Amino acid sequence: MKILLGVQGTGNGHLSRCSALVEALERYQVDVDVLISGRAPEQLFDVDSFGDYRCMSGLTFATSRGKIDVSATLKSNAWQQFWRDYHRLDLTPYDLIVSDFEPITAWAARKQRRRCIGIGRQYAFCSALPQAEVRATQRWFIQQFAPATDVLGMHWVEADGVLPPIIHQRGRRLPALPQQVLVYLPFESLDDIRHWLAPLTDYQFSIFHPQAKRGQAGHLQFFAPSRVGFAEQFSQASAVISNAGFETTSEALSQGKKLLVKPLHGQFEQRVNASLLEAYGLGSFHHQLSDVKIRQWLSHARSSQLHWPNVAEAVADWLASGAQRPATELARTLWQQSRIRRVA
């Protein structure tokens, strides 16, 4: 069997999830070709598991200081190149097309009238998630950005037709330290992050950021993005401060971390994620951060640990079998193996 996997490169969560899926598919002797779009090739890292992958411009969002910049987004995307890429992409060598919210593979499949399996968080919003405020126009946007004939959405708690998250197990798992906090806010200004955390000298902060260089300033440690390094620092933290992307929040919940999120302004998925985390009692969120808000949260926050099975392995088995079994049965089986543990 040969699969084309389209990966949305704008977020590290997509790369992490698809890396776990590719590694699982290899155990089933499935031949996987990977196409990444949405990020310049020189900005990608830790993609060795993808082998000889292809990289295309695709579509992405421009951000500035924690907000989506609509004008810059419209100007920065190469719309004509996107049109040419999905029209020229030949899908005839592949038995299955899979898209993790990647638009070139999805639109090529639509044009060539091929089955396309959409996997990822965004596709969960095509269903009626409990307490999720998603407008019809936002569902339409998801369906048009990376259209799929079959969808496997993902969510933290059980809901109709969605799967638990795919967690990429990597790096050494180290004991968590009570005063250690991991900070991953890639869309925020690094100067803003320093300003928020500098007064909080009772805690040790490990800060991962695209503009950071390895170094230390008192209780603040800075790291450039690194999959293995991130995993090791993550495991030692008792608390996580991040934007409201799905993958990082899922990893925090799987390890029982206290969780504070700042949703990316103008990105409805992150807004919904943040609201649901608080509604479910799994985390807290603020639209604006400050040293006072962070200190208060660190003093009073509680954590929850969510136990999910090996979803990547189950999805790989499902795909390797031709994806013939109803996705609802796959979801039901996985949720029967999941549970939540509240931590005081």
Domain annotation covers residue 172 = no
**210 pLDDT more than 60:** yes
* Structure-block tokens of residue 98: 């899979």
| Amino acid letter, 102 | E
DSSP assignment string, 298-320: HHH--EEEEE---HHHHHHHHHH
Residues forming beta bridges with residue 35, ordered by sequence position:
6, 54
| In a shared domain, residues 16 and 162 | yes
Domain annotation covers residue 249 = yes
**101 pLDDT more than 70:** yes
The CATH code of the domain that includes 214 is 3.40.50.2000
> pLDDT grade, residue 64 (50/70/90)?
low
Question: Which of 16, 25, 1 is CA-nearest to residue 48?
Answer: 16
Domain annotation covers residue 214 = yes
Mean pLDDT of 236-263: 96
| In a shared domain, residues 51 and 67 | yes
> pLDDT grade, residue 132 (50/70/90)?
confident
Per-residue pLDDT tens digits for 159-209: 888 999 999 876 567 789 999 999 999 989 999 999 999 999 999 999 999
Using CA atoms, how far residue 192 sits from 116, 184, 187, in Å, is 41, 13, 11
| In a shared domain, residues 272 and 329 | no
Q: Which domain does 300 fall in, by range? A: 177-306
In eight-state DSSP terms, residue 126 is G
**47 pLDDT more than 90:** no
The pLDDT score that the predictor gives to residue 76 is 64
User: Measured between alpha carbons, how far is 74 from 9 in angstroms, rounded to an integer?
Assistant: 18
| In a shared domain, residues 153 and 45 | yes
For residues 200 and 141, which has the higher predicted lDDT (pLDDT)?
200
* Helix, strand, coil % over all residues of the chain, rounded to 5: 40, 25, 40
CB 154 within 8 A of CB 165: yes
Question: Which of 56, 166, 182 is CA-nearest to residue 108?
Answer: 56
**150 pLDDT more than 80:** yes
Which of 35-44, 106-115, 164-173 is predicted least confidently?
164-173
| In a shared domain, residues 70 and 51 | yes
| In a shared domain, residues 322 and 290 | no
| In a shared domain, residues 282 and 199 | yes
Per-residue pLDDT tens digits for 72-92: 666 667 778 889 999 999 999
For residues 312 and 65, which has the higher predicted lDDT (pLDDT)?
312
Q: Where are the alpha helices (DSSP H) in the chain?
A: 12-26, 70-76, 79-88, 103-111, 136-145, 190-197, 227-236, 246-254, 268-279, 291-300, 311-320, 327-335
> pLDDT grade, residue 217 (50/70/90)?
very high
Tally of domains in the chain: 2
Residue 99 parent element (H or E): strand 96-100
